[in-house]
Each structure stands twice: as structure tokens, then as C-alpha cells.
Amino acid sequence: MKFFIDTADVEAIKKAVELGMCDGVTTNPTLIMKSGKDQKSVIREIAKIVKGPISVEGIADDAPGMIKEAEEFSKWAPNIVVKVPMTKEGLKAVRYLSSKEIQTNVTLVFSASQALLAAKAGATYVSPFVGRLDDISENGMKLVADILEIFCAYDFKTEVIVASIRHPLHVVDSARMGAHIATMPADVFEKMFRHPLTDKGIAQFKDDYAKTKK
């Protein structure tokens, strides 16, 4: 299973890279805005430290506009993946970009039918947003299970990036289902390490070790 970091915060990405846990990065316009930098410069900065796929999202509404943005993003680094919204125009762009071997990540996916269409269009990745579904009392992880079942049945090559992750259990459930990738905010990644009994155990072993010193 691959771990992507869902942020444009270069310091947070560096920490995950140092741990050898950052297989890629996903961004969106909101995350770029939070970084306080312009998109091109922050993506180029990220590309200097991350070898894996880096998803970059544009704002065009129609396929020609999306293709133009994709061609521009692709010049920034060799590992750019173009995020395309789950619309008819988006899937037209995906079909074209796929024929040009430009990798795509179909984003804002909220149903299995959308994921199926994205896979048929030749998307490299599809991103179901689990947290945003949970927020409106729908079961985000059930959607991931449905998509994986469909992709498996037809041997689609499209990989599932579980996105809009809110807590470590989303990551664990993704792993249990065999999702290819979980993209998580830096704070969720941090939380995955923690357990109070680990801290308590370390403190106790240190105390007991000290008692053996004469």
C-alpha cells in the first residue's frame, strides 16, 4: 500500500520523506492557497524532494482548457499527475491525456458510477473523497469497497487513491480493503504513529533500566 501526503506544506512533506513513508503527494487549489505560495513554485519545490507522483489540479471547465493546463503542469517535473474533475469534460480530457501518456487523477469522485466512468476513460488514478461523504451521513469507506470490487472484477489498471481522509481509521480501513493508496493530511500521518501504551511502556522501561544502574 502506498502512502501519499495530501498537502502543499513542504516542511511536512520533508518529514514524511525523511521517514521513507512518502510515496507521493496530492494537492488541490485549497492546499496550495494554505501554503501561501504560488502553485508553480511550490510544486517545483515539492518535486525536488519527492520522487513519486505529485498530483496538481487546475481550474479549467472544458476539456481543451484542462488539456492546456495539463500540458503546462507536465513541464514542471517528470512526476506530475494532472488532477481532473469528475465531469464529462474532465473525462474527455482524461481520454486525450491518457493517449499522450500524461498521468491523470480523477478527483471529486463521490459514487461508484463516477469511478467506473473514470476507469473506462483511462484514468491513472481515481480519488473517492471519503471524509466529505461521511460529513453528509453517507458511508465513504463503503464507496471505496464498491469501487475496488468493480475494478477488481474487470481488472482495471486505474488505482484507487482514498482521499479526504480525516483520521487513522480511514487509512486502516483502506488497507484492509486493499486500496492502492491512501492520501492523508500530515496530522493524520502523525497520529498513525501514536499509542499511549507505547509511550507508557517506553517510560517504564527507561525507569526500570535506571534502577539496574549501580
Positions annotated as catalytic residues are 83
Among 8, 17, 28, 115, binds ligand G3P (CB under 6 A): 28
Rounded-to-integer distance, Cα 69 and Cα 61, Å: 11
2 closest CA partner among 171, 173, 188: 171
Among 96, 129, 151, 156, binds ligand G3P (CB under 6 A): 129
Measured N-to-C along each axis, helices 140-154 and 112-121 cross at an angle, to the nearest 10 degrees, of 40
Rounded-to-integer distance, Cα 205 and Cα 208, Å: 5
CB of 37 to ligand G3P, least distance (A): 17
Per CB under 6 A, 52 contacts ligand G3P: no
Per CB under 6 A, 114 contacts ligand G3P: no
DSSP calls for 160-210 = EEEBS--SHHHHHHHHHHT-SEEEE-HHHHHHHH--HHHHHHHHHHHHHHH
Nearer to ligand G3P, 136 or 153 (CB): 136
Among 40, 132, 142, 167, binds ligand G3P (CB under 6 A): 132
Per CB under 6 A, 29 contacts ligand G3P: no
**Which residues in 3-22 contact ligand G3P (CB under 6 A)?**
6
Per CB under 6 A, 131 contacts ligand G3P: yes
